[in-house]
Amino acid sequence: MLNKHLLPLAFLLAGLSGAVGAEPPALPATPAAVTEVLYARPFTLDEAYTHLWRQEQPQVRDGMLLVVKVDPALVYPRQVAEPVLYVGNQTAMRLNVGYPSGIVVALVPGMDNLPASGGDIWFGTPRLPETITARTLADERGRAAHLAARAGHETGSALLKGGAPLQARNLPALLAEAAQLVRQHAPDEAALADGLAGQSSAQ
Partners of 122 in beta bridges: 33, 86
- The answer to the question of residue 1 being in a domain is no
| pLDDT for the residue 149 | 59
Q: Domain count for the chain, please give it.
A: 1
Instruction: Render each residue's pLDDT in the chain as its tens digit; 203 residues.
Output: 344 434 543 444 444 444 444 688 999 999 999 998 999 999 999 999 999 999 999 999 999 999 999 999 999 998 889 999 999 889 999 999 999 999 999 999 998 766 666 668 999 999 999 999 999 999 999 999 888 655 555 677 888 888 899 999 999 999 999 999 999 999 999 999 999 988 765 55
- The answer to the question of residue 120 being in a domain is yes
d(CA 79, CA 1) in angstroms, rounded, equals 28
- The answer to the question of residue 126 being in a domain is yes
- The answer to the question of residue 115 being in a domain is yes
d(CA 44, CA 28) in angstroms, rounded, equals 34
> How many CB atoms sit inside 10 A of residue 165's CB?
13
| pLDDT for the residue 161 | 87
DSSP 28: P
- The answer to the question of residue 19 being in a domain is yes
63 backbone dihedrals φ, ψ, rounded to 5°: 165, -140
**pTM for this model (two decimals):** 0.88
For 164, the domain range is 6-201
- The answer to the question of residue 96 being in a domain is yes
Specify whether the backbone of 25 is left (phi greater than 0), alpha (psi in -120 to 50) or beta: beta
Name the CA dihedral angle for 61, 66, 72, 75, rounded to a multiple of 10 degrees: 0
- The answer to the question of residue 73 being in a domain is yes
Contact by Cβ (8 Å): 26, 83: no
| pLDDT for the residue 182 | 97
